[in-house]
Structure 1
Amino acid sequence: MGWKILLVDDETMISDVLEAYLQREGYEVFKSENGLDALRKADSVKPDLIVLDLMLPDISGEEVCRLLRKESDIPILMLTAKSGEDERINGIVIGADDYVTKPFSPREVVVRIQAILRRASKGQERPGSAQLSFNQRQLVIDLIKKEILLHNESISVTPIEYKLLSNMAKHPGRVYSRMDLLEKIQEDGLSYEGYERSIDTHIKNLRKKVETDARDPKFIVTVFGMGYKFGGVPDVKNAAL
């Protein structure tokens, strides 16, 4: 399956044209006509990139971008009729990865999307190729899509839970103190003002999602007096990104 793109634009003609161009390139396309629906689809579909118009009928594209950035680092390409330098700079400041002004060439948008996805995947040719797999694929972490699969089923985790699990899984057996994990969350760009013991709560919630028996965990193991380690057995040599 190819990359998933979410188009957010209330101008049907524009989104239909972009959809046709993107589908021709093999992308799976989803569409929203307003900001609230875009936020819902971003959570349910988990697209690889969002094309976001700034002029939406309910909430602005800028606000949609801000809200997305609180939860995710998904690439965002902004579309707008605003062509001033201040508007372009503001779009980048609030979290956009690129900026295209209307009217635009659909081919240019496709090329920009391809460039953003290349950067996001750090040179990987196809989505899903950077995976960490454990215990005969009982647990799979897709480092590009930021998705966790348990027994081939995608499970819903918070950004903090994903950061905790993916960071520990990159180094199975390594012991992380609570402070280590707290620093990992913060250095990875998540705005988080928790304290060391709050890590225990996130670990408890994460265990409920990934462990067959949370009282006898196999993946997230407590090291008494020290912290936590990842106990999964790698299926192949996992090259962490």
Structure 2
Amino acid sequence: MYKVLVIEDDAVIGDMVSMYLGEEGFHVVRYETGHAGLEAMSEFQPDIILLDLMLPDIDGLALCGQIRELSNIPILVVSMKNKVIERVNALTAGADDYLSKPFSMHEMSARVQALIRRSKHYHSSAVPSSIPAKPVEALSKLPKKPAQEMDESSSLISLDHHTRSIWVKGDLIETTYSEFEIMKCFIKYPGRVFSREDLLQTVRGIDSLVTDRAIDVHIANLRKKIEENPKEPKRIRTVWGVGYKYVQ
């Protein structure tokens, strides 16, 4: 039984979501504040988090970023905010999908299942995505990858498909699911120009909402992580009017 952590202060929406997902066979727990939800993560070990952005005690975007620093658990943002910039900000903070209120319970369930399905597929051969007992220490002591394990196709950047990790000059770089998928395409086909539509098809789950603008956000985030100077990228190049390409 998959576990869903709902962080939602609206009792009506929270109860409806919990009831619907419960009837769909999920184990659901709900908390009305961000701090309570964050504290529950370690013990509950959810397979996905449904996060409202308008919480009484903490900014939802800040909480989203904090969760992403601790874990790769899929995050589905549900919010009354429906402007494009709000979606972009949520994706930038680490969310994997965004659903505007009011929404169909059936669509919400489909998105939850799609994100869990994608997550389980990605981690089928990896160590389970759990919350570290001492997250601050864990994040400050990222391991170095031995030089002999680097991918022969790129001396500076390598991908570990089993753990879904990206290594840049031997340093482990944390990425979201979509960022890893985009980078996987780039590494596999260096020099090939990918249109935004190509990349959309790469990261879009059957039920997930991904836009052209989201692709630009993912590219910007990847550049910050792998480029020496993100403002003058040498690896991920923009092909004006078309899309992007990766240069080894």
TM-score scaled by length of structure 2 = 0.54
Question: Which of 1 and 2 has greater Rg?
Answer: 1
Residue matched to 2:56? 57
TM superposition shift of 1:44:
2.4
Residue matched to 2:173? 187
CA distance in 1, matches of 2:13, 2:173: 38
TM superposition shift of 1:156:
3.8
TM-score scaled by length of structure 1 = 0.56
- Letter paired with 1:58: D
TM superposition shift of 1:189:
4.3
**Contact 1:5/1:49 (<8 A) preserved:** yes
SS in 2 for 1:122: helix
CA distance in 2, matches of 1:143, 1:10: 32
Residue matched to 2:213? none
Unaligned runs of 5+ in 1: 125-129, 132-141, 148-154, 172-180, 191-241
- 1:32-111 superposed matches below 5 A: 32-111=31-110
Root mean square deviation of aligned Cα: 3.0
User: Percent identity among equivalent residues?
Assistant: 33
Shift of the 6–101 alpha-carbon distance from structure 1 to 2, 3 Å rule, reads: same
- Letter paired with 2:127: L
Report the structure, 1 or 2, having the larger helix content: 2
Deviations 1:56-114 (A, max 9, x none): 11111111101112211111000111111111111111100000001111111110000
**Contact 1:146/1:162 (<8 A) preserved:** no
- Letter paired with 1:7: V
Shift of the 122–33 alpha-carbon distance from structure 1 to 2, 3 Å rule, reads: same
CA distance in 2, matches of 1:123, 1:69: 16
SS in 2 for 1:87: helix
Shift of the 185–104 alpha-carbon distance from structure 1 to 2, 3 Å rule, reads: same
Count of aligned residue pairs for this structure pair = 154
TM superposition shift of 1:162:
11
CA distance in 1, matches of 2:141, 2:13: 35
CA distance in 1, matches of 2:49, 2:36: 13
**Contact 1:49/1:75 (<8 A) preserved:** yes
Unaligned runs of 5+ in 2: 150-166, 177-248
CA distance in 2, matches of 1:100, 1:107: 12
TM superposition shift of 1:143:
2.8
**Contact 1:83/1:101 (<8 A) preserved:** yes
CA distance in 1, matches of 2:169, 2:30: 37
